[in-house]
Amino acid sequence: MWQELIVAVIVAACAFHAATKYLPAAWRRQIVYTLARRGFNQDKLAKLFKTQSSCGDGCGSCGSCETPAAPDAPKDTGVTRRVIPLHVQR
C-alpha cells in the first residue's frame, strides 16, 4: 500500500517537472491561465511554469527596444593574451 502511494507521488512529481520544462510555451500559458481561474496565484504559477514575459513582448527588460548608442572607439576590455610555455618531459 505505502509503496504504491510513494510511487504515485514520484510519478506525479516527474510529470509535473516534465510539464514545467518540456511542454510548449503556449500549453504552459494555458495551464497557468486555467489554474489561475480556479483560484491559484497566477504570479507564482507563471514563475513555476516559466511563462514570464519575454524579450519579444516589449516589456523593456532586455533593452533591445531602445535606440542603440552612438558607436565610439573600440572599447578596451582589459584582456591581454598570454602565452603559456609547455615543458614536455620525456
CB 28 within 8 A of CB 46: no
Give the pLDDT of residue 52. Answer: 72
Structural domains in the chain (count): 1
| The three three-digit cell numbers of residue 53, written as one number | 514575459
**pTM of whole model > 0.75?**
no
Structure confidence by residue, pLDDT tens digits, 37-86: 999 888 888 888 888 755 545 554 555 555 555 555 556 666 777 888 88
Residue 24 belongs to some domain of the structure: yes
Q: Classify residue 23: in a domain, yes or no.
A: yes
Give me the mean pLDDT over the 5-34 stretch: 92
Whether residue 88 lies inside any domain: the answer is: no
Task: Determine, yes or no, domain membership for 14.
Answer: yes
Domain that holds residue 11: 2-52
pLDDT recorded at residue 4: 96
The single-letter DSSP state of residue 38 is T
Does residue 33 sit within a domain?
yes
Q: Is residue 64 part of a domain?
A: no
